[in-house]
Amino acid sequence: MKRIDCVSCGRQDIDKNTIGINKKLLGLEVKNFYCMDCLASYLNTTVEDLNEKIEEFKDEGCKLFE
């Protein structure tokens, strides 16, 4: 699988959950991805809130987070 790095801070090889939450909150067509810290900062929220969202999406069976 192609390595994806954070578009903002350059953190390397961000994980599948992070890619999933980027797609969920920025749109399925998003091309550039943020790491959790940068995404939280971009959305003016917290990493804890984003992690809660990820768990909710997993509970709903969303395939983006498998």
Partner 1 sequence: MIYADNAATTKLDTDALEAMKPYLIEEYGNASQPYFFAKPAKKALAAARESIAECIGADPEEIYFTSGGTESDNWAVKSVLFFSSGTRRVVTSQLEHHAVLNACHSLEKLRVPVDYLPVDNNGIVGISDLEASLHEDAALVSIMLANNEIGTIEPIQELCNIAHNRGALFHTDAVQAVGHIPIDVRALGVDMLAASAHKFNGMKGSGFLYIRRGVDLHPFSDGGSQEYGKRAGTENIAAIVAMAAALKKNCERMEESTRKLHSLEALFLDKLSGAKLDYIRNGSNTHLPGNINISIKGADGEMLLHRLDLKGICISTGSACDTVNTQVSHVIKAIHVPEEYAKGTIRITFGADNTEKEAIVIANALIDILKG
For the chain, the residue count is 66
Interaction residues for partner 1, span 21-40 (CB under 8 A): 24-28
Contact between 49 and partner 1 by CB under 8 A: the answer reads yes
Q: Which is nearer to partner 1, 14 or 20 (CB)?
A: 20
Give the up-direction half-sphere exposure of residue 32: CA atoms within 13 A in the CB hemisphere: 9
Single out the residue of 4, 7, 19, 62 in contact with partner 1 (rule: CB under 8 A).
62
19 three-class SS: helix
Name the residues that contact partner 1, by CB under 8 A: 24-28, 43-45, 49, 53, 60-63
